[in-house]
Amino acid sequence: MNMGRILGRRRLLWVATAALSALLVLPARGGDRIRETAAIRETFDTLRDWEPLTFPKIPRHTRYRIEQENGNNVLRADADASASALVHGKVFSVRDFPWIRWRWKIEKVLEKGNAVVKDGDDYPIRIYVIFRYDPRKASFGQRIQYGAAKALYGRYPPHSTLNYIWANRAHSAPFLPNTYTDRTRMFLLEQGNAKAGGWVMEERNILEDYRTAFGQDPPDEATVAVMCDTDNTGERTTAWVDDLVVFRKEAGSE
C-alpha cells in the first residue's frame, strides 16, 4: 500500500501544534541530565487524537482498538486482507522536535511480503512521518503537480514521507525506496520473525534519516501515522504499538 501516493485522496485533519507536554528528565553521564520536551506523547489511553484513513479502492479495513496488556493500554491492529491507517491530528515542527521513539510488537511477518515488489508492499506494522507540502517552497513543476492534486481531491497530498517498517524478510540495504512512489523512503528497522512476540523499542532522528534518505532537508511541518496492511498479500496478522513520542533532547545540569 502506497501511503505517499494515496494520502491525498482523503482530506486529512491538519491542526495547529498544541501546547507542549510535560518535561521528562533522564540521567546522563557526567552528572548532566537530558531533558525531553515532547510535541506528541501517545500512550493510547484514547484514540481521540487519531483520524482513521481508509482508501476508496480497498473495501476491507484494518481494525484498530485499544487493548490492555498487564494493566497498560496499547494500540492493537488486526489486518485480514485489509488496509487502513490512523493519522495523528497534531502537526509538529521537525526542526524543533527531531526525535521519534516508540515500541512495537508483532504476531508474525507476512509470508508473501517483500519490500522490493509492489505485490509484496504489506507489513505487519509501520510508523509514518508525513511531511506537509508547502507551495511557497516548491518548484514550478511541483506547484503544477500538487495544484492539480488539490483541485481533484480538495487538499494537497504529502510532500514526502519516512516509513519505518518491520520488514517481512531480510534486505541488505538499511532503507529502500517505496515501489509505488519516489517520495517515500522505507527504513527497515526490524526484519523477519526473530523478535516476533516481544516488545521492541525504536528511536530515530527524523532530520538525520530524511537527509540520509533524500539528500536534503525536509519540510518543517509533519505529523505521524500508524499502519498495518495486508491487502496486497491477502494475509492475516496482528500488531501492537505503544509509547509513541515525538520530542527534542536538551542538555541540562543537576
pLDDT single digits (tens) 158-170: 779 999 999 999 9
What confidence score (pLDDT) does residue 75 get?
98
Where on the phi/psi map is residue 157: left (φ > 0), alpha (ψ -120 to 50), or beta?
beta
Picking from 23-27, 50-54, 57-61, 248-252, which range would have the lowest pLDDT averaged per residue?
23-27
What is the mean predicted confidence (pLDDT) over 192-217? Answer: 97
Provide the H-helix boundaries in the chain: 3-6, 140-153, 206-214
What beta strand segments (E) does 43-110 contain? 50-53, 63-69, 72-80, 83-88, 92-93, 99-106
DSSP annotation string for 177-214 = E-SS-TTEEEEEEEESSTTTTS-EEEEEEHHHHHHHHH
The string of pLDDT tens digits covering residues 153-198 is: 555 567 799 999 999 999 999 999 999 888 999 999 999 999 999 9
Q: By C-alpha distance, which of 248, 243, 219 is closest to 101?
A: 243
pTM over 0.85: no
Phi and psi at residue 216, to the nearest 5°: -160, 170
Which pLDDT does position 158 carry in this prediction?
A: 75
Instruction: State pLDDT tens for residues 98-156.
Output: 999 999 999 999 999 999 999 999 999 999 999 986 666 666 666 666 656 565 555 55
Specify the CATH architecture of the domain 3-19+42-246: Sandwich (2.60)
